Chains A and B, each alone.
Chain A
Amino acid sequence: MQDPTFLILLALSDRPRHGYGILLEAKELSGGTIRIGPGTLYGALERLEEAGHIELDREEIEDGRPRRYYRLTRRGRGVLVEETQRRDALVGLAKQRLAHR
């Protein structure tokens, strides 16, 4: 899983968010180091929705435009947990390696 996808799932882990909300949260989570573009965001949302990792939570009309909120599904949460463990294991390995030098 690439960083933007990981951050998008992570941004949705506490509550449903809309597209712009996901971008803001992802920026915040990464401390401003990773910036996700709108094209990348919706490409990822399409893939995640098809895979059943996220789903539509609700739709609100704001200034005459539809605003859709997405939430993490149970399967999506499982994938996020798995990916976090994988990344954690990698970081652990890296720390060991660096400590031995």
Chain B
Amino acid sequence: MKKRLKIFFILSLFALIGVAILSGLAFYYYSNPSKLKRIVENAVSDYTGTECSVKEISFSQKPLIILARGIELVGRAQGLYLEIPEISLFISIRGGFGRRTLIFEDLQAKGFILNMAERWDLPQIAKGSEKLSFLRRILGGLFKFFLFNDIRLTKLGLTDGHVNGRWGHLTVSVTGIHANLTSERTLKAGCAIRLRSIPDEIDFEIPRLEWITDHPINPDDETIRATLKGEEIAFETSQGKVSSATLETKMLYHRAEKILDFESFTILSDAVMLQLGKETRPSSFPFLLEAKAGISLENTKVAAPFVHVALGGIADFKGEFHGNFTGRQKSSITVAELKIFPEKVLRMFPSLMPESLDAFVSTGSLYISGRVSGNMDQQFGQWDCDLAIRLRENKISFESPVVRIHTSVTGEVKLRGPLSGPELHLDTTLDEGGARIGEIEIDTGKLGLSVTGAYPAFRISELSLQKGAAKWKIKGRPFFLEEIEARTRSGSLDMKRKTLHLPELALSASTLKNLVFSVKMEEKAFSLAARGENVHVVEFGRAMGLIPRGWKMKAQDSLEGRALFREDGRLTFSGRLMVQDLSFESEDGDMAGEKISFVLEPDLEGNLEPEGRLAGAMSLSAGKGEILYDQFYLDLNKQPVTVEGKGDYETALGSLNLTNFGFHLGDLATLSVNGTLTRNELENSRFSLRVPRVPLAPIFERFVVEPYKHQNPFLTELRLEGFFSADLELSVKDTLWTIKGRSLWEEGQATAKKQNIALKGIQLDLPIWYTGGKESAVGELPSLQAPGELRGNLFIHSIQIPFLPAQSIDTPLRVKPNRFETLSPIDIMTGGGQIEMGTILFKEPFSGKLDIKTLLTLEQIDLKPWLYGIWPTPLEGTADGKLDPVRWQADRLTTNGQVTADLFGGRLVLSNIGVKRFPSLTPVVTLDAVWTDFDLALITGGTAFGKVEGTLKGHVKGLEIADRQPQAFHLFMETVAKNDTPQKISVQAVDNIARIGGGASPFSGLTGAFLSLFKELPYEKIGISAVLENDMFRINGTIKEKGKEYMIKKGGFSGVDVIIGNPGSNTISFKDMVRRIKRVTESREDTVINE
């Protein structure tokens, strides 16, 4: 026997033995089903790693039906419990040996329950060792040869299955699980699914999910095509809600490649509502997901070349997805186009946009394209992105009653790197932008911004503003700032540290040029520095309304300043403004300046909080140029002005405290101010004003003489010497103010040499107490109602004025609000008597209503020195009287009372003495005079007029004297016959009276020649009246007899009548009358006497 035959024989023997054993076993278990149940339990237990128990197994042979009841799988380790109440299995084996197939003709399972615990896991299917033993391989081969080597399922029925599971707070419930493989070999399965997490407020439910193959399933088919449908899908979380969604996908499974293609995948919902936070937007929007995808189950790859997601009108995504769930290959999302409508997004997320921004309107979309890639085992934030976000003239606007903003944004944002912190490059342009905030309207012109970097740190490579403008109104007056240009090419922004740094931001506008800002914003501080040359501060001030309209002004300037704002509200500011060659002129030309240079240096430190306090110091120094204010001129080159001081502002009280605020006007004067200015109605603003002792002469010269010398030339004659100082307190409440204190004029002199006036040794201690404000409220002023007074004194060591001997004055002064007075009468010594001036009361001394009141008492005033030089011969006489009151008000001096003078042997009474337009260049003295018993011999004796003897009475009414000349009067005088007084008139006097009266000489002709032989002629009466008015003089006689008007009525045979020829028209100009008088008073030639 050959060796090969021997081997065949042995193998055949073993095969027969195997068949015999298998047949034996089969017969044994067929005869003892209980033994089979144990084997099944053990096999399943071993195979799944669970504890398997089968309550009952039974079977029949023809047909071969196996029925198992009460199957339980308990996988304690896997947290698994499976209960199948009953499985019936109708099986058959078909085919010849070696090609036998086990066919499940009908598999029915009813009401299985699968419970899964939190640690649930799939049963671990036991795998055989990689290398089976020879015996097992032999047995396995025999099994496949004789029993079956393939399994087929012909019909399947699965009904009423339940799966329950719980993972943490998440519960999963799959109910109504059913599957049916029909005899036509189409498989139809379905179930209802619900996932809930109460703490997480998640509720997901698919009440009806159906899966059905589109064609009969054959084991030999390369592909399986099926359709999955879900309806009434609902999903609700705290962030949103989806309801009535449908799912439909057509799947194609490639068995060989193990690839599942989703030829179409659609999820559609008409009502998706997003919710963020507690605020809910009631609006809902449709949702659509469309995709085509393929899943390689072998490689666990997903390729979705088409994905379209549409979120109503909120967002629309088109792109691709390629996912690798194993290995190191990257997954990627390609964004062909993601279009987002920002306005709708913001409206869907109330927390992103409060309701106060409901007026926000954005048209246009964000267009996003690019790619996101990464490993699936990475967190999504670690994926790399290469995205571009584009805006195309997106219109953005916001409007509220207070604010209105609109702009158009065009630009691109590029994102590269990990999604959690990509490198960003932002390049945007804001155009056609504008804003209105209250009364301020801003045109943002063209705003460009280029930023690169990765969150949180960014570099600003370009920030520019072109053709911006601002317009606003203050009290109805419009202001403009146009052509605003700003640019910086470097800067940094750190969003995490909340810092922004723009080292050089150049800014210019139509009225503000060459300004460079440095901005540094940190988390707890913000600093702003500015510098510039030729900034055009003047134009800016004009635009800001700081310069009155119509003023011309130009200057060269430079400035620098630095401000630091801290988080706690503290502020530090220092600055320096230098202005050169400042020239300005007010619209009316009253105020002007030329070539002025000044430096202003403010420093400020404090807190901007409502209860804060700001303290600061400032200095202003103007040392060049000239200033003119109306008639006041200041040469700053000679009298530089400096202002310096400290102050603090208390925000809560609204009060400004000034400390040692000094105004220095060269060496002319210094004003030192201390005090508080407050807005609080309950508090007074109060300042102390102090003028240290300074020479008076320069101040008087600069501020009185120079401006007013043309209006009053006397000022050029007047010299004031001495020293001036003042210490005042100014208090203001509402519109009422009080100034109180005292001023001193020491070692003073007032001289006017030409006028022979000299007041020397003046010591004036003049208290000042004045209150002003609303007239209706003046009565309520505390200062007015307050008792008390201020006392001062006036002492003049020597007074020298014409007609009076040198003398001194020493009188106390008393001051009450808006009035002051001398407390004691002032005796004015004259050459031969005394004038007593009563107390002088000054009311409203610092207003246009000045009212001065006093009285004058004259006692035995010797008139001789007063009349010396006026009357051609020395005169004796005295004057007495009382003028009470003597009052000056509204440029008019009036008196009541009279002055009586004993003169020319008679009496002269002066009354209604006054001065109109006093003081002015043309004062008019007015008075009335009445005289009686004047001895004509005393009046005319020794004069060129010619001697007249007799007694004269008369009066002059309404006498006005202006510019040392009579301007108007009504004169009446007549002689009075007295027994003891002869009435004679010299020929010369008769002739002169006749000439004055406008007639020819009465001594012409034969009779005149005869009469002229007499030196004196008797007369009966002399009577003359005269009127001067408007420079016209009319003279008349007062004696009217027989139709004739006599100036002189002869007294006897030798007398002469002087008659007015034309009484009705005896008017001549006063100048002619004066000529006549001059001829009379100056002519010495002999008179020719005629009839």
Chains A and B are bound partners = no
Q: Which residues does B use to contact A, with CB under 8 Å?
A: none
Q: Which residues does A use to contact B, with CB under 8 Å?
A: none
